[in-house]
A and B are shown apart, each in its own frame.
Chain A
Amino acid sequence: MSEPRKKFYHSTVSRRDFMKMLGLGSVGMGATALGFSSKMPFADLDEMKSSEFSDRKLPFWVKEVDEPTVEINWDELEVFPGLQNTMFNPMTFGLEDAQKVNQIRVEKVRNDIINKTPGYSIQDHALNSASAYGWLDGKFEPPWTGVEHPPYNPEGWGHTTAYTTPDEIGVPRYEGTPDENSKMIRVADRIMGAADTGFVKLDERTKKLLYGNIVFEDVEEGYMDPEKHINVLPNKDLWVICSVIPQSLTMGSYTDRMSWAGANAYAYSRANIYSSRIKMFLRGLGYQQYGSATTGVGRAVGFGVMAGLAEYCRASIMVSPQFGTSFRTVLLTVTDLPLAVTKPIDAGITNFCKVCKKCGEECPSGAINMDTEPQWPNWAAGEKPNVSRGIKGWFLDTKKCLTQMFSGEPDCSRCQVVCPFNKYDSAVMHDLVRLSISNAPALNSMIRKLDDTFGYGVEKGSNLWDMDPRDIPLFGLDSSRS
Protein backbone atom coordinates (compact mmCIF):
# COMPACT_ATOMS: atom_id res chain seq x y z
CA MET A 1 0.00 0.00 0.00
CA SER A 2 1.32 3.40 -0.90
CA GLU A 3 1.09 6.24 1.55
CA PRO A 4 -2.06 8.37 1.43
CA ARG A 5 -1.61 11.43 -0.73
CA LYS A 6 -0.68 14.56 1.09
CA LYS A 7 -2.42 17.77 0.25
CA PHE A 8 0.49 20.12 0.83
CA TYR A 9 3.48 20.30 -1.42
CA HIS A 10 5.04 23.51 -0.24
CA SER A 11 6.47 24.49 3.08
CA THR A 12 5.93 28.21 2.76
CA VAL A 13 2.73 29.85 4.00
CA SER A 14 0.67 30.46 0.93
CA ARG A 15 -2.66 32.20 0.82
CA ARG A 16 -4.44 28.86 0.71
CA ASP A 17 -2.47 27.52 3.64
CA PHE A 18 -3.39 30.63 5.53
CA MET A 19 -7.12 30.11 4.90
CA LYS A 20 -6.79 26.51 6.02
CA MET A 21 -5.01 27.65 9.13
CA LEU A 22 -7.93 29.94 9.88
CA GLY A 23 -10.29 27.05 9.32
CA LEU A 24 -8.48 25.09 11.95
CA GLY A 25 -9.01 28.03 14.23
CA SER A 26 -5.72 27.68 15.99
CA VAL A 27 -2.42 29.43 15.65
CA GLY A 28 -0.65 26.33 16.87
CA MET A 29 -2.17 24.12 14.24
CA GLY A 30 -1.43 26.74 11.65
CA ALA A 31 2.22 26.75 12.63
CA THR A 32 2.23 22.96 12.38
CA ALA A 33 1.05 23.29 8.81
CA LEU A 34 4.39 24.90 8.01
CA GLY A 35 6.13 21.64 8.41
CA PHE A 36 4.16 19.42 6.04
CA SER A 37 6.23 17.26 3.80
CA SER A 38 6.82 18.27 0.19
CA LYS A 39 7.14 14.67 -0.98
CA MET A 40 5.30 13.94 -4.25
CA PRO A 41 3.52 10.66 -3.65
CA PHE A 42 2.99 9.48 -7.25
CA ALA A 43 4.41 6.16 -8.33
CA ASP A 44 4.35 6.90 -12.07
CA LEU A 45 2.90 9.17 -14.73
CA ASP A 46 -0.23 7.04 -15.03
CA GLU A 47 -0.95 7.53 -11.35
CA MET A 48 -0.19 11.21 -11.59
CA LYS A 49 -2.50 11.74 -14.56
CA SER A 50 -5.35 9.89 -12.87
CA SER A 51 -5.04 12.00 -9.74
CA GLU A 52 -7.53 14.69 -8.90
CA PHE A 53 -4.84 17.30 -9.50
CA SER A 54 -4.54 16.61 -13.21
CA ASP A 55 -8.07 17.75 -14.12
CA ARG A 56 -8.35 21.23 -15.50
CA LYS A 57 -9.85 23.10 -12.58
CA LEU A 58 -10.82 26.61 -13.49
CA PRO A 59 -10.84 29.26 -10.76
CA PHE A 60 -14.23 29.43 -9.08
CA TRP A 61 -15.15 32.74 -10.68
CA VAL A 62 -14.62 31.48 -14.25
CA LYS A 63 -17.50 30.00 -16.29
CA GLU A 64 -17.15 27.74 -19.32
CA VAL A 65 -19.21 29.00 -22.27
CA ASP A 66 -20.10 27.71 -25.72
CA GLU A 67 -18.90 30.82 -27.57
CA PRO A 68 -16.01 33.08 -26.56
CA THR A 69 -16.68 36.51 -25.10
CA VAL A 70 -15.19 38.18 -28.17
CA GLU A 71 -17.70 38.13 -31.02
CA ILE A 72 -16.45 36.25 -34.07
CA ASN A 73 -18.20 36.16 -37.43
CA TRP A 74 -16.87 32.83 -38.66
CA ASP A 75 -18.28 33.34 -42.16
CA GLU A 76 -16.44 36.65 -42.52
CA LEU A 77 -13.28 35.67 -40.67
CA GLU A 78 -10.19 36.22 -42.78
CA VAL A 79 -7.25 33.87 -42.62
CA PHE A 80 -3.88 35.45 -41.84
CA PRO A 81 -1.72 34.84 -44.93
CA GLY A 82 1.31 34.04 -42.83
CA LEU A 83 3.96 35.26 -40.48
CA GLN A 84 4.63 38.41 -42.48
CA ASN A 85 1.20 39.70 -41.52
CA THR A 86 1.25 38.97 -37.81
CA MET A 87 0.64 41.76 -35.36
CA PHE A 88 4.21 42.46 -34.27
CA ASN A 89 6.06 42.07 -37.53
CA PRO A 90 7.56 45.43 -38.60
CA MET A 91 7.34 44.31 -42.23
CA THR A 92 3.62 45.02 -42.03
CA PHE A 93 4.40 48.72 -42.31
CA GLY A 94 7.03 48.50 -45.02
CA LEU A 95 10.72 47.69 -45.19
CA GLU A 96 11.89 51.30 -45.49
CA ASP A 97 10.01 52.49 -42.41
CA ALA A 98 11.04 49.38 -40.48
CA GLN A 99 14.70 50.03 -41.24
CA LYS A 100 14.41 53.68 -40.16
CA VAL A 101 12.89 52.65 -36.87
CA ASN A 102 15.57 50.04 -36.36
CA GLN A 103 18.31 52.60 -36.94
CA ILE A 104 16.79 54.83 -34.25
CA ARG A 105 16.74 51.80 -31.99
CA VAL A 106 20.45 51.10 -32.47
CA GLU A 107 21.28 54.73 -31.66
CA LYS A 108 19.05 54.66 -28.61
CA VAL A 109 20.70 51.56 -27.21
CA ARG A 110 24.17 53.02 -27.71
CA ASN A 111 23.27 56.36 -26.11
CA ASP A 112 21.54 54.72 -23.17
CA ILE A 113 24.60 52.60 -22.41
CA ILE A 114 26.98 55.55 -22.72
CA ASN A 115 24.72 57.81 -20.64
CA LYS A 116 24.07 55.06 -18.07
CA THR A 117 20.27 55.50 -18.37
CA PRO A 118 18.67 53.57 -15.47
CA GLY A 119 17.19 50.33 -16.74
CA TYR A 120 19.11 50.44 -20.02
CA SER A 121 22.65 49.83 -18.79
CA ILE A 122 25.03 47.40 -20.42
CA GLN A 123 24.18 44.73 -17.82
CA ASP A 124 20.46 45.17 -18.53
CA HIS A 125 21.08 44.65 -22.24
CA ALA A 126 23.36 41.70 -21.55
CA LEU A 127 20.70 40.05 -19.36
CA ASN A 128 18.16 40.56 -22.12
CA SER A 129 20.51 38.97 -24.67
CA ALA A 130 21.13 36.02 -22.38
CA SER A 131 17.38 35.58 -21.87
CA ALA A 132 16.79 35.59 -25.62
CA TYR A 133 19.19 32.71 -26.26
CA GLY A 134 17.21 29.88 -27.78
CA TRP A 135 14.62 32.25 -29.19
CA LEU A 136 15.94 34.73 -31.76
CA ASP A 137 18.70 32.47 -33.01
CA GLY A 138 16.19 29.69 -33.51
CA LYS A 139 18.56 27.05 -32.14
CA PHE A 140 15.86 25.40 -30.07
CA GLU A 141 13.13 25.87 -32.62
CA PRO A 142 11.77 22.52 -33.80
CA PRO A 143 11.03 22.02 -37.51
CA TRP A 144 7.44 22.15 -38.78
CA THR A 145 7.16 18.39 -39.10
CA GLY A 146 8.19 17.85 -35.49
CA VAL A 147 11.36 16.71 -33.87
CA GLU A 148 13.44 14.02 -35.51
CA HIS A 149 16.20 12.51 -33.48
CA PRO A 150 18.19 9.30 -33.78
CA PRO A 151 18.03 7.04 -30.71
CA TYR A 152 20.71 7.88 -28.22
CA ASN A 153 23.94 5.97 -28.94
CA PRO A 154 22.17 2.90 -30.40
CA GLU A 155 25.41 1.00 -31.15
CA GLY A 156 27.10 1.23 -27.78
CA TRP A 157 25.96 1.76 -24.23
CA GLY A 158 22.91 3.94 -24.25
CA HIS A 159 19.62 4.66 -22.62
CA THR A 160 17.28 2.14 -24.18
CA THR A 161 14.34 4.49 -24.52
CA ALA A 162 15.92 7.89 -24.99
CA TYR A 163 14.62 9.59 -28.13
CA THR A 164 13.01 6.39 -29.44
CA THR A 165 9.60 5.93 -31.00
CA PRO A 166 7.37 2.94 -30.19
CA ASP A 167 8.29 1.51 -33.64
CA GLU A 168 11.97 1.66 -32.82
CA ILE A 169 11.49 -0.17 -29.53
CA GLY A 170 9.08 -2.63 -31.15
CA VAL A 171 6.02 -1.86 -29.06
CA PRO A 172 2.55 -0.59 -29.98
CA ARG A 173 1.97 3.13 -29.67
CA TYR A 174 0.28 4.58 -26.60
CA GLU A 175 -3.52 4.37 -26.63
CA GLY A 176 -5.94 6.21 -24.36
CA THR A 177 -9.34 7.86 -24.37
CA PRO A 178 -9.44 11.56 -25.30
CA ASP A 179 -10.05 12.40 -21.66
CA GLU A 180 -7.09 10.33 -20.49
CA ASN A 181 -4.91 11.78 -23.22
CA SER A 182 -5.82 15.33 -22.25
CA LYS A 183 -5.00 14.67 -18.62
CA MET A 184 -1.72 13.09 -19.62
CA ILE A 185 -0.74 16.10 -21.77
CA ARG A 186 -1.73 18.45 -18.98
CA VAL A 187 0.51 16.64 -16.50
CA ALA A 188 3.41 16.45 -18.96
CA ASP A 189 2.92 20.12 -19.87
CA ARG A 190 3.35 21.24 -16.29
CA ILE A 191 6.60 19.32 -16.05
CA MET A 192 7.86 20.59 -19.40
CA GLY A 193 7.10 24.24 -18.74
CA ALA A 194 3.51 25.11 -19.68
CA ALA A 195 1.44 26.65 -16.90
CA ASP A 196 -1.97 25.71 -18.31
CA THR A 197 -3.20 23.73 -21.30
CA GLY A 198 -6.30 23.71 -23.49
CA PHE A 199 -7.27 21.70 -26.56
CA VAL A 200 -8.99 22.75 -29.78
CA LYS A 201 -10.14 20.37 -32.50
CA LEU A 202 -9.43 21.55 -36.03
CA ASP A 203 -12.75 21.90 -37.82
CA GLU A 204 -14.11 24.18 -40.53
CA ARG A 205 -14.20 27.11 -38.11
CA THR A 206 -10.95 26.69 -36.21
CA LYS A 207 -8.96 25.89 -39.36
CA LYS A 208 -9.45 29.59 -40.17
CA LEU A 209 -7.22 30.40 -37.21
CA LEU A 210 -4.27 28.65 -38.86
CA TYR A 211 -1.93 30.74 -40.98
CA GLY A 212 -2.69 30.85 -44.68
CA ASN A 213 0.50 29.00 -45.62
CA ILE A 214 -0.86 25.83 -44.01
CA VAL A 215 -2.83 23.59 -46.36
CA PHE A 216 -4.46 20.18 -46.03
CA GLU A 217 -3.78 17.25 -48.33
CA ASP A 218 -4.79 13.59 -48.47
CA VAL A 219 -1.45 12.33 -47.18
CA GLU A 220 -0.50 10.07 -44.30
CA GLU A 221 1.91 12.56 -42.76
CA GLY A 222 2.38 16.28 -43.07
CA TYR A 223 5.39 17.87 -44.68
CA MET A 224 6.96 21.20 -45.52
CA ASP A 225 7.36 22.44 -49.08
CA PRO A 226 9.90 25.29 -49.00
CA GLU A 227 9.60 25.90 -52.75
CA LYS A 228 5.89 26.56 -52.59
CA HIS A 229 6.20 28.18 -49.14
CA ILE A 230 3.54 25.92 -47.73
CA ASN A 231 3.29 23.63 -44.74
CA VAL A 232 1.06 20.62 -45.30
CA LEU A 233 -1.12 18.87 -42.74
CA PRO A 234 -2.77 15.50 -43.38
CA ASN A 235 -6.53 15.40 -43.96
CA LYS A 236 -7.49 13.56 -40.77
CA ASP A 237 -8.75 14.32 -37.29
CA LEU A 238 -6.29 16.75 -35.75
CA TRP A 239 -6.18 18.65 -32.49
CA VAL A 240 -4.20 21.69 -31.38
CA ILE A 241 -2.51 21.56 -27.99
CA CYS A 242 -2.60 25.13 -26.68
CA SER A 243 -0.03 25.67 -23.96
CA VAL A 244 0.35 28.76 -21.81
CA ILE A 245 4.00 29.83 -21.59
CA PRO A 246 4.34 31.81 -18.34
CA GLN A 247 6.35 34.99 -18.08
CA SER A 248 8.16 36.41 -15.07
CA LEU A 249 6.02 38.93 -13.24
CA THR A 250 8.92 39.45 -10.85
CA MET A 251 11.12 40.81 -13.63
CA GLY A 252 8.20 42.82 -14.97
CA SER A 253 7.56 44.34 -11.56
CA TYR A 254 10.92 46.09 -11.65
CA THR A 255 10.69 49.23 -13.63
CA ASP A 256 13.80 48.84 -15.70
CA ARG A 257 12.38 48.32 -19.13
CA MET A 258 15.13 45.96 -20.16
CA SER A 259 14.18 43.81 -17.20
CA TRP A 260 10.71 43.43 -18.65
CA ALA A 261 12.21 42.88 -22.12
CA GLY A 262 14.29 40.12 -20.59
CA ALA A 263 11.14 38.56 -19.11
CA ASN A 264 9.62 38.55 -22.61
CA ALA A 265 12.70 37.13 -24.30
CA TYR A 266 13.23 34.48 -21.67
CA ALA A 267 9.63 33.29 -22.02
CA TYR A 268 10.06 33.02 -25.80
CA SER A 269 13.24 31.04 -25.26
CA ARG A 270 11.43 28.67 -22.89
CA ALA A 271 8.58 28.44 -25.42
CA ASN A 272 10.99 27.10 -28.04
CA ILE A 273 12.45 24.57 -25.62
CA TYR A 274 8.97 23.56 -24.50
CA SER A 275 7.90 23.21 -28.13
CA SER A 276 10.68 20.72 -28.80
CA ARG A 277 9.88 18.83 -25.60
CA ILE A 278 6.14 18.41 -26.25
CA LYS A 279 6.98 17.18 -29.73
CA MET A 280 9.51 14.68 -28.37
CA PHE A 281 6.83 13.54 -25.93
CA LEU A 282 4.22 13.00 -28.65
CA ARG A 283 6.81 11.33 -30.86
CA GLY A 284 7.72 8.99 -28.03
CA LEU A 285 4.04 8.04 -27.70
CA GLY A 286 3.85 7.29 -31.44
CA TYR A 287 1.79 10.28 -32.62
CA GLN A 288 2.30 13.00 -35.21
CA GLN A 289 3.27 16.49 -34.10
CA TYR A 290 3.44 19.66 -36.14
CA GLY A 291 4.34 23.23 -35.39
CA SER A 292 7.41 25.20 -34.69
CA ALA A 293 8.09 28.27 -32.59
CA THR A 294 5.47 30.74 -31.35
CA THR A 295 4.77 31.83 -34.92
CA GLY A 296 4.62 28.37 -36.45
CA VAL A 297 0.97 27.35 -36.54
CA GLY A 298 -1.54 30.15 -36.32
CA ARG A 299 -3.06 32.85 -34.20
CA ALA A 300 -2.04 32.41 -30.59
CA VAL A 301 -4.82 34.73 -29.39
CA GLY A 302 -7.45 32.97 -31.49
CA PHE A 303 -6.55 29.49 -30.31
CA GLY A 304 -5.98 30.68 -26.74
CA VAL A 305 -9.48 32.15 -26.64
CA MET A 306 -11.11 29.12 -28.27
CA ALA A 307 -9.29 26.78 -25.87
CA GLY A 308 -10.59 28.74 -22.88
CA LEU A 309 -7.17 29.75 -21.65
CA ALA A 310 -7.89 33.46 -21.74
CA GLU A 311 -10.23 36.15 -23.00
CA TYR A 312 -9.61 38.73 -25.70
CA CYS A 313 -8.83 42.19 -24.31
CA ARG A 314 -8.56 45.85 -25.26
CA ALA A 315 -4.83 45.70 -26.03
CA SER A 316 -5.57 43.08 -28.74
CA ILE A 317 -3.88 40.39 -26.67
CA MET A 318 -5.11 37.79 -24.18
CA VAL A 319 -5.89 38.13 -20.49
CA SER A 320 -5.91 34.94 -18.49
CA PRO A 321 -8.01 34.66 -15.33
CA GLN A 322 -5.04 33.20 -13.46
CA PHE A 323 -2.05 34.93 -15.04
CA GLY A 324 -3.50 38.21 -16.26
CA THR A 325 -1.33 39.36 -19.13
CA SER A 326 1.82 37.95 -17.59
CA PHE A 327 2.26 35.07 -19.96
CA ARG A 328 4.14 35.36 -23.21
CA THR A 329 2.11 33.26 -25.56
CA VAL A 330 -0.08 30.25 -26.12
CA LEU A 331 2.21 27.87 -27.95
CA LEU A 332 0.43 25.69 -30.51
CA THR A 333 1.19 22.08 -31.38
CA VAL A 334 -0.89 20.14 -33.90
CA THR A 335 -1.25 16.40 -33.26
CA ASP A 336 -3.34 13.37 -34.20
CA LEU A 337 -3.48 12.24 -30.57
CA PRO A 338 -7.23 12.34 -29.76
CA LEU A 339 -7.91 14.98 -27.13
CA ALA A 340 -10.93 16.20 -25.15
CA VAL A 341 -11.54 19.79 -26.25
CA THR A 342 -11.76 22.60 -23.72
CA LYS A 343 -14.42 25.28 -24.08
CA PRO A 344 -14.03 29.07 -24.15
CA ILE A 345 -14.39 30.87 -20.83
CA ASP A 346 -16.19 33.89 -19.46
CA ALA A 347 -14.56 35.49 -16.43
CA GLY A 348 -15.95 38.92 -17.26
CA ILE A 349 -12.57 40.06 -18.60
CA THR A 350 -13.58 41.38 -22.04
CA ASN A 351 -16.53 43.12 -20.40
CA PHE A 352 -14.23 44.69 -17.79
CA CYS A 353 -12.00 46.03 -20.59
CA LYS A 354 -14.90 48.19 -21.78
CA VAL A 355 -14.78 50.39 -18.68
CA CYS A 356 -11.21 49.90 -17.49
CA LYS A 357 -9.08 51.36 -20.34
CA LYS A 358 -6.04 51.49 -18.04
CA CYS A 359 -3.76 49.95 -20.68
CA GLY A 360 -4.82 52.59 -23.20
CA GLU A 361 -4.38 55.45 -20.75
CA GLU A 362 -0.87 54.30 -19.83
CA CYS A 363 0.22 53.47 -23.40
CA PRO A 364 2.96 56.02 -24.24
CA SER A 365 2.39 55.69 -27.99
CA GLY A 366 -1.40 55.95 -28.07
CA ALA A 367 -1.57 52.68 -29.99
CA ILE A 368 -4.43 51.19 -27.98
CA ASN A 369 -8.00 51.82 -29.11
CA MET A 370 -9.98 53.76 -26.49
CA ASP A 371 -13.52 53.16 -27.82
CA THR A 372 -15.72 51.81 -25.05
CA GLU A 373 -17.31 49.13 -27.21
CA PRO A 374 -15.38 46.81 -29.53
CA GLN A 375 -16.07 47.36 -33.23
CA TRP A 376 -16.38 45.23 -36.33
CA PRO A 377 -13.51 46.22 -38.68
CA ASN A 378 -14.73 48.46 -41.50
CA TRP A 379 -11.56 49.44 -43.35
CA ALA A 380 -10.79 48.74 -46.97
CA ALA A 381 -9.25 45.43 -47.91
CA GLY A 382 -5.48 45.49 -47.51
CA GLU A 383 -5.52 48.81 -45.64
CA LYS A 384 -4.50 47.17 -42.38
CA PRO A 385 -2.75 43.96 -43.39
CA ASN A 386 -2.06 42.85 -39.85
CA VAL A 387 -5.72 42.87 -38.84
CA SER A 388 -8.28 40.49 -40.24
CA ARG A 389 -12.01 40.92 -40.58
CA GLY A 390 -14.49 38.81 -38.73
CA ILE A 391 -13.61 39.76 -35.16
CA LYS A 392 -15.44 42.38 -33.16
CA GLY A 393 -12.60 43.87 -31.21
CA TRP A 394 -10.28 46.69 -30.27
CA PHE A 395 -7.44 46.76 -32.75
CA LEU A 396 -3.94 47.86 -31.83
CA ASP A 397 -2.11 50.36 -34.04
CA THR A 398 0.95 48.16 -34.27
CA LYS A 399 3.00 50.70 -36.18
CA LYS A 400 2.72 53.16 -33.28
CA CYS A 401 3.36 50.37 -30.77
CA LEU A 402 6.39 48.96 -32.56
CA THR A 403 7.85 52.39 -33.21
CA GLN A 404 7.65 53.14 -29.49
CA MET A 405 9.16 49.78 -28.58
CA PHE A 406 11.95 49.88 -31.13
CA SER A 407 12.92 53.52 -30.99
CA GLY A 408 11.86 54.60 -27.51
CA GLU A 409 11.63 51.86 -24.94
CA PRO A 410 12.65 48.35 -25.87
CA ASP A 411 9.73 46.00 -25.25
CA CYS A 412 7.72 48.70 -23.46
CA SER A 413 4.87 46.33 -22.48
CA ARG A 414 3.27 48.91 -20.16
CA CYS A 415 -0.15 47.68 -21.26
CA GLN A 416 0.71 44.34 -19.70
CA VAL A 417 2.28 45.69 -16.52
CA VAL A 418 -0.67 47.95 -15.64
CA CYS A 419 -3.48 45.50 -16.42
CA PRO A 420 -5.59 45.06 -13.25
CA PHE A 421 -5.66 41.29 -13.83
CA ASN A 422 -1.88 41.21 -13.64
CA LYS A 423 -1.42 40.55 -9.93
CA TYR A 424 0.58 38.36 -7.67
CA ASP A 425 -1.66 35.89 -5.97
CA SER A 426 -0.79 36.32 -2.31
CA ALA A 427 -3.70 38.52 -1.19
CA VAL A 428 -7.15 36.90 -0.94
CA MET A 429 -8.60 40.23 -1.99
CA HIS A 430 -7.59 39.65 -5.63
CA ASP A 431 -9.82 36.58 -5.90
CA LEU A 432 -12.76 38.50 -4.44
CA VAL A 433 -12.21 41.28 -6.96
CA ARG A 434 -12.10 38.71 -9.79
CA LEU A 435 -15.29 37.13 -8.43
CA SER A 436 -16.95 40.54 -8.56
CA ILE A 437 -15.71 41.21 -12.11
CA SER A 438 -17.11 37.86 -13.20
CA ASN A 439 -20.52 38.23 -11.57
CA ALA A 440 -21.20 41.89 -10.78
CA PRO A 441 -20.13 44.00 -13.79
CA ALA A 442 -21.89 47.04 -12.30
CA LEU A 443 -18.95 47.34 -9.90
CA ASN A 444 -16.30 47.26 -12.66
CA SER A 445 -15.89 51.02 -12.84
CA MET A 446 -15.38 51.26 -9.06
CA ILE A 447 -12.89 48.38 -9.16
CA ARG A 448 -10.86 50.18 -11.79
CA LYS A 449 -10.78 53.33 -9.59
CA LEU A 450 -9.77 51.30 -6.53
CA ASP A 451 -7.01 49.64 -8.56
CA ASP A 452 -5.54 53.12 -9.05
CA THR A 453 -6.17 54.19 -5.45
CA PHE A 454 -4.39 51.11 -4.13
CA GLY A 455 -1.39 51.93 -6.30
CA TYR A 456 -1.46 48.88 -8.54
CA GLY A 457 0.28 49.18 -11.89
CA VAL A 458 2.36 52.11 -10.68
CA GLU A 459 6.06 51.76 -11.33
CA LYS A 460 7.84 51.46 -8.01
CA GLY A 461 11.12 52.94 -9.17
CA SER A 462 13.09 49.97 -7.92
CA ASN A 463 16.07 48.36 -9.58
CA LEU A 464 16.37 44.67 -10.40
CA TRP A 465 20.09 44.72 -9.66
CA ASP A 466 19.46 45.93 -6.10
CA MET A 467 17.28 42.92 -5.27
CA ASP A 468 18.28 40.32 -2.76
CA PRO A 469 18.88 37.30 -5.05
CA ARG A 470 17.05 35.13 -2.53
CA ASP A 471 13.88 37.11 -3.22
CA ILE A 472 13.95 36.19 -6.91
CA PRO A 473 11.98 33.01 -7.63
CA LEU A 474 13.86 30.43 -9.64
CA PHE A 475 13.66 31.23 -13.36
CA GLY A 476 11.84 34.38 -12.27
CA LEU A 477 8.55 32.48 -12.09
CA ASP A 478 6.52 32.95 -8.95
CA SER A 479 4.94 29.63 -8.03
CA SER A 480 1.94 31.24 -6.30
CA ARG A 481 0.59 32.35 -9.67
CA SER A 482 0.84 29.11 -11.54
Chain B
Amino acid sequence: MRYISWTWFWYVVIGFLLGGGVVYLWSVLKQKAVKLVWYEWVLFILSGFFFIFLGQTFIASFQENESQAAWMSLVFMGIPILIMMVGAFRSLGPRLKKT
Protein backbone atom coordinates (compact mmCIF):
# COMPACT_ATOMS: atom_id res chain seq x y z
CA MET B 1 0.00 0.00 0.00
CA ARG B 2 1.39 3.35 -0.96
CA TYR B 3 1.78 5.84 1.86
CA ILE B 4 -0.12 8.45 -0.14
CA SER B 5 -2.58 7.42 -2.81
CA TRP B 6 -3.57 10.19 -5.23
CA THR B 7 -6.57 8.33 -6.62
CA TRP B 8 -8.89 10.40 -4.44
CA PHE B 9 -7.57 13.57 -6.11
CA TRP B 10 -8.86 12.52 -9.53
CA TYR B 11 -12.26 11.69 -8.08
CA VAL B 12 -12.34 15.17 -6.55
CA VAL B 13 -11.46 16.62 -9.96
CA ILE B 14 -14.44 14.75 -11.46
CA GLY B 15 -16.62 16.16 -8.69
CA PHE B 16 -15.47 19.69 -9.35
CA LEU B 17 -15.91 19.34 -13.11
CA LEU B 18 -19.41 17.94 -12.72
CA GLY B 19 -20.36 20.38 -9.98
CA GLY B 20 -18.89 23.31 -11.95
CA GLY B 21 -20.77 22.25 -15.07
CA VAL B 22 -24.08 22.02 -13.22
CA VAL B 23 -23.56 25.41 -11.51
CA TYR B 24 -22.58 27.01 -14.83
CA LEU B 25 -25.60 25.60 -16.65
CA TRP B 26 -27.95 26.56 -13.84
CA SER B 27 -26.58 30.14 -13.71
CA VAL B 28 -26.80 30.61 -17.49
CA LEU B 29 -30.35 29.30 -17.60
CA LYS B 30 -31.34 31.53 -14.69
CA GLN B 31 -29.65 34.59 -16.16
CA LYS B 32 -31.31 34.07 -19.55
CA ALA B 33 -34.61 32.99 -17.96
CA VAL B 34 -34.72 29.88 -20.13
CA LYS B 35 -36.54 26.71 -19.05
CA LEU B 36 -35.44 23.27 -20.20
CA VAL B 37 -37.90 21.07 -22.05
CA TRP B 38 -38.19 17.45 -20.99
CA TYR B 39 -35.82 15.92 -23.56
CA GLU B 40 -33.14 18.49 -22.70
CA TRP B 41 -33.43 17.39 -19.07
CA VAL B 42 -33.02 13.79 -20.21
CA LEU B 43 -29.95 14.63 -22.33
CA PHE B 44 -28.23 16.61 -19.56
CA ILE B 45 -28.96 14.02 -16.86
CA LEU B 46 -27.83 11.17 -19.09
CA SER B 47 -24.68 13.10 -20.01
CA GLY B 48 -23.94 13.69 -16.33
CA PHE B 49 -24.51 10.04 -15.52
CA PHE B 50 -22.26 8.90 -18.36
CA PHE B 51 -19.63 11.47 -17.34
CA ILE B 52 -19.49 10.03 -13.82
CA PHE B 53 -19.39 6.49 -15.18
CA LEU B 54 -16.66 7.41 -17.66
CA GLY B 55 -14.61 9.15 -14.98
CA GLN B 56 -14.81 6.18 -12.65
CA THR B 57 -13.95 3.71 -15.42
CA PHE B 58 -11.07 5.87 -16.67
CA ILE B 59 -9.44 6.28 -13.26
CA ALA B 60 -10.12 2.72 -12.11
CA SER B 61 -8.70 1.26 -15.33
CA PHE B 62 -5.38 2.96 -14.67
CA GLN B 63 -5.54 1.64 -11.12
CA GLU B 64 -5.97 -1.82 -12.63
CA ASN B 65 -2.93 -1.27 -14.88
CA GLU B 66 -5.25 -1.46 -17.91
CA SER B 67 -4.33 1.71 -19.80
CA GLN B 68 -5.82 0.51 -23.11
CA ALA B 69 -9.14 -0.09 -21.36
CA ALA B 70 -8.95 3.45 -19.94
CA TRP B 71 -8.44 5.09 -23.33
CA MET B 72 -10.99 2.88 -25.06
CA SER B 73 -13.58 3.76 -22.44
CA LEU B 74 -12.85 7.40 -23.17
CA VAL B 75 -13.75 6.76 -26.81
CA PHE B 76 -16.71 4.44 -26.21
CA MET B 77 -18.34 6.63 -23.54
CA GLY B 78 -16.90 10.04 -24.41
CA ILE B 79 -18.43 10.10 -27.89
CA PRO B 80 -22.01 9.44 -26.68
CA ILE B 81 -21.53 12.15 -24.03
CA LEU B 82 -20.34 14.60 -26.69
CA ILE B 83 -23.28 13.74 -28.96
CA MET B 84 -25.78 14.23 -26.14
CA MET B 85 -24.22 17.49 -25.01
CA VAL B 86 -24.07 18.86 -28.57
CA GLY B 87 -27.70 17.82 -29.08
CA ALA B 88 -28.80 19.49 -25.85
CA PHE B 89 -26.94 22.76 -26.55
CA ARG B 90 -28.10 22.89 -30.18
CA SER B 91 -31.65 22.54 -28.90
CA LEU B 92 -31.05 25.26 -26.28
CA GLY B 93 -29.03 27.56 -28.54
CA PRO B 94 -31.79 29.51 -30.31
CA ARG B 95 -33.56 30.27 -27.00
CA LEU B 96 -30.33 31.37 -25.35
CA LYS B 97 -29.59 33.72 -28.27
CA LYS B 98 -33.11 35.22 -28.25
CA THR B 99 -32.97 36.32 -24.63
Interface residues of A (CB under 8 A from B): 12-13, 15, 18, 21-22, 26-27, 30-31, 34, 253, 423-424, 426-429, 453-456, 458, 460, 462, 468, 470-471, 473-474
Contacts and interface: CB of A to CB of B under 8 A. Distances in A.
B76 to A, nearest CB: 8
Contacts of A458: 68
Interface string B7-19: 1100110011001
B31 interface: no
Contacts, number: 71
Given A12-B5, A427-B61, A454-B73, A18 B11 contact: yes
B27 interface: no
Interface residues of B, number: 26
Contact of B16 (A27, A424, A453, A455): A27
Contacts of A27: 12, 15-16, 19
Contacts of A462: 65
Interface string B42-80: 000000000011001100110111111100110000000
Contact of A426 (B3, B16, B63, B72): B63
Given A27-B12, A27-B16, A429 B73 contact: yes
A460 B62 CA distance: 13
Contact of A13 (B8, B66, B69): B8
A12 B7 CA distance: 9
Contacts of A34: 8
A475 to B, nearest CB: 12
Contacts of B57: 427-429
Contacts of B52: 22
A423 B64 CA distance: 8
B15 A15 contact: no
B51 to A, nearest CB: 11
A12 B68 CA distance: 24
Most buried by B among A12, A30, A426, A468: A426
